[in-house]
Structure 1
Amino acid sequence: MPDPRIKNEEQYQALLKKGYSQEKAARIANTPNSGVKGGKAKPYEEWTKEQLYQQAQKAGIPGRSYMNKNNLIKSLRTN
Protein backbone atom coordinates (compact mmCIF):
# COMPACT_ATOMS: atom_id res chain seq x y z
CA MET A 1 0.00 0.00 0.00
CA PRO A 2 1.50 3.36 -1.01
CA ASP A 3 2.51 5.79 1.71
CA PRO A 4 0.48 9.03 1.36
CA ARG A 5 3.50 11.02 2.59
CA ILE A 6 5.51 10.02 -0.50
CA LYS A 7 4.81 12.23 -3.53
CA ASN A 8 6.51 10.03 -6.12
CA GLU A 9 6.02 6.41 -5.03
CA GLU A 10 7.60 4.95 -8.17
CA GLN A 11 10.82 6.89 -7.70
CA TYR A 12 10.82 6.10 -3.97
CA GLN A 13 10.63 2.34 -4.64
CA ALA A 14 13.34 2.56 -7.31
CA LEU A 15 15.67 4.35 -4.90
CA LEU A 16 15.07 1.75 -2.20
CA LYS A 17 15.98 -1.00 -4.69
CA LYS A 18 19.23 0.86 -5.45
CA GLY A 19 20.13 0.71 -1.77
CA TYR A 20 19.14 4.18 -0.55
CA SER A 21 17.88 4.44 3.01
CA GLN A 22 14.14 5.02 3.49
CA GLU A 23 14.82 8.52 4.77
CA LYS A 24 17.01 9.57 1.85
CA ALA A 25 14.71 7.95 -0.72
CA ALA A 26 11.72 9.78 0.77
CA ARG A 27 13.56 13.10 0.72
CA ILE A 28 14.46 12.70 -2.95
CA ALA A 29 11.01 11.43 -3.96
CA ASN A 30 9.35 14.36 -2.19
CA THR A 31 11.26 17.13 -3.94
CA PRO A 32 8.98 19.35 -6.04
CA ASN A 33 10.46 18.19 -9.34
CA SER A 34 11.07 14.55 -8.43
CA GLY A 35 11.22 12.23 -11.39
CA VAL A 36 11.46 15.11 -13.85
CA LYS A 37 14.47 15.20 -16.11
CA GLY A 38 15.66 18.71 -16.52
CA GLY A 39 19.26 19.07 -17.60
CA LYS A 40 19.47 21.46 -20.49
CA ALA A 41 23.27 21.44 -20.58
CA LYS A 42 25.08 20.40 -23.74
CA PRO A 43 26.93 17.07 -23.67
CA TYR A 44 30.55 17.36 -22.47
CA GLU A 45 31.79 16.60 -26.00
CA GLU A 46 30.40 19.98 -27.12
CA TRP A 47 32.14 21.91 -24.30
CA THR A 48 35.47 23.64 -24.82
CA LYS A 49 38.52 22.39 -22.96
CA GLU A 50 38.44 25.57 -20.86
CA GLN A 51 34.81 24.96 -19.85
CA LEU A 52 35.64 21.37 -18.93
CA TYR A 53 38.66 22.54 -16.93
CA GLN A 54 36.52 25.02 -14.97
CA GLN A 55 33.95 22.31 -14.24
CA ALA A 56 36.73 19.96 -13.10
CA GLN A 57 38.04 22.73 -10.88
CA LYS A 58 34.60 23.14 -9.26
CA ALA A 59 34.45 19.37 -8.74
CA GLY A 60 37.96 19.33 -7.21
CA ILE A 61 39.41 16.82 -9.65
CA PRO A 62 43.14 16.42 -9.02
CA GLY A 63 45.58 16.55 -11.95
CA ARG A 64 43.14 18.44 -14.16
CA SER A 65 45.79 20.85 -15.45
CA TYR A 66 47.63 17.93 -17.09
CA MET A 67 44.53 16.43 -18.72
CA ASN A 68 43.45 16.71 -22.32
CA LYS A 69 39.80 17.20 -23.28
CA ASN A 70 38.99 13.47 -23.38
CA ASN A 71 40.55 12.86 -19.97
CA LEU A 72 38.64 15.80 -18.48
CA ILE A 73 35.38 14.37 -19.82
CA LYS A 74 36.16 10.92 -18.44
CA SER A 75 37.12 12.36 -15.04
CA LEU A 76 33.99 14.48 -14.81
CA ARG A 77 31.75 11.55 -15.66
CA THR A 78 33.35 9.25 -13.12
CA ASN A 79 33.69 11.82 -10.35
Structure 2
Amino acid sequence: MPEKKSPGPSVKDDELYEKLRDEGNSKEKSARIANAAANTSRSEMGKRGGSSPAYEEWTVEELRDRAAELDVEGRSDMTKDELIEALRER
Protein backbone atom coordinates (compact mmCIF):
# COMPACT_ATOMS: atom_id res chain seq x y z
CA MET A 1 0.00 0.00 0.00
CA PRO A 2 1.44 3.39 -0.94
CA GLU A 3 2.49 5.75 1.79
CA LYS A 4 0.09 8.67 2.29
CA LYS A 5 1.33 12.11 1.33
CA SER A 6 1.25 14.94 3.80
CA PRO A 7 -1.81 17.14 3.15
CA GLY A 8 0.42 20.18 3.25
CA PRO A 9 1.30 22.97 5.65
CA SER A 10 -2.16 24.57 5.52
CA VAL A 11 -3.79 21.58 7.29
CA LYS A 12 -3.42 21.89 11.06
CA ASP A 13 -4.65 18.42 12.11
CA ASP A 14 -3.17 15.82 9.75
CA GLU A 15 -4.67 12.86 11.62
CA LEU A 16 -8.25 14.16 11.43
CA TYR A 17 -7.74 15.24 7.82
CA GLU A 18 -6.67 11.71 6.80
CA LYS A 19 -9.59 10.15 8.70
CA LEU A 20 -12.04 12.42 6.90
CA ARG A 21 -10.44 11.69 3.51
CA ASP A 22 -10.64 7.93 4.21
CA GLU A 23 -14.36 8.40 4.88
CA GLY A 24 -14.72 9.84 1.38
CA ASN A 25 -14.84 13.56 2.08
CA SER A 26 -13.33 15.98 -0.41
CA LYS A 27 -9.89 17.49 0.20
CA GLU A 28 -11.41 20.92 0.73
CA LYS A 29 -14.05 19.76 3.20
CA SER A 30 -11.55 17.61 5.10
CA ALA A 31 -9.09 20.50 5.40
CA ARG A 32 -11.81 22.90 6.53
CA ILE A 33 -13.01 20.54 9.27
CA ALA A 34 -9.49 19.60 10.38
CA ASN A 35 -8.43 23.24 10.64
CA ALA A 36 -11.56 24.27 12.52
CA ALA A 37 -11.07 21.38 14.93
CA ALA A 38 -7.45 22.35 15.49
CA ASN A 39 -8.53 25.85 16.52
CA THR A 40 -10.78 24.48 19.27
CA SER A 41 -11.28 21.15 20.94
CA ARG A 42 -12.96 18.49 18.81
CA SER A 43 -15.86 18.18 21.24
CA GLU A 44 -16.42 21.93 21.00
CA MET A 45 -16.60 21.65 17.19
CA GLY A 46 -19.61 19.37 17.39
CA LYS A 47 -21.47 21.89 19.52
CA ARG A 48 -20.95 24.75 17.07
CA GLY A 49 -22.93 23.25 14.21
CA GLY A 50 -26.49 24.25 13.53
CA SER A 51 -29.43 22.01 14.05
CA SER A 52 -31.33 20.59 11.14
CA PRO A 53 -33.47 17.50 10.82
CA ALA A 54 -32.07 14.52 8.97
CA TYR A 55 -32.77 14.49 5.23
CA GLU A 56 -35.09 11.53 5.78
CA GLU A 57 -37.42 13.87 7.67
CA TRP A 58 -37.53 16.42 4.83
CA THR A 59 -40.28 16.42 2.21
CA VAL A 60 -39.42 15.71 -1.42
CA GLU A 61 -40.18 19.35 -2.21
CA GLU A 62 -37.73 20.54 0.46
CA LEU A 63 -35.09 18.14 -0.84
CA ARG A 64 -35.60 19.36 -4.42
CA ASP A 65 -35.31 22.98 -3.26
CA ARG A 66 -32.02 22.20 -1.50
CA ALA A 67 -30.82 20.26 -4.56
CA ALA A 68 -31.65 23.31 -6.71
CA GLU A 69 -29.54 25.50 -4.41
CA LEU A 70 -26.63 23.11 -4.98
CA ASP A 71 -27.28 22.75 -8.74
CA VAL A 72 -27.84 18.98 -8.59
CA GLU A 73 -28.56 17.85 -12.13
CA GLY A 74 -31.60 15.65 -12.75
CA ARG A 75 -33.18 16.51 -9.42
CA SER A 76 -36.70 16.82 -10.84
CA ASP A 77 -36.72 13.14 -11.83
CA MET A 78 -35.11 11.82 -8.63
CA THR A 79 -36.88 9.86 -5.92
CA LYS A 80 -36.58 10.92 -2.31
CA ASP A 81 -33.82 8.35 -1.70
CA GLU A 82 -31.92 9.51 -4.80
CA LEU A 83 -32.20 13.14 -3.72
CA ILE A 84 -30.87 12.30 -0.27
CA GLU A 85 -27.93 10.41 -1.77
CA ALA A 86 -27.14 13.26 -4.18
CA LEU A 87 -27.26 15.85 -1.39
CA ARG A 88 -25.01 13.79 0.85
CA GLU A 89 -22.42 13.52 -1.91
CA ARG A 90 -22.18 17.33 -2.13
TM-score range, shorter chain: 0.5 to 0.7
Confirm whether residue 77 of structure 1 aligns to residue 78 of structure 2. Answer: no
Which of the two has greater helix per residue? 2
> What TM-score does the superposition give when structure 1 sets the normalisation length?
0.61
* CA drift at 1:34: 6.2
**Which structure has the larger Rg?**
1
Aligned-pair Cα RMSD in Å: 2.8
Aligned residue pair count? 64
1:1-26 Cα deviation digits (max 9, x unpaired)? xxxxxxxxxx7242453576xxx577
- Runs of 4+, deviation exceeding 6 Å: none
**Aligned partner of residue 13 in structure 2, secondary structure:** helix
Query: Which ranges in structure 2 are unaligned for 5 or more consecutive residues?
Result: 1-11, 22-26
Higher RCO (Cα < 8 Å, 6 or more apart): 1
Identical positions, percent: 39
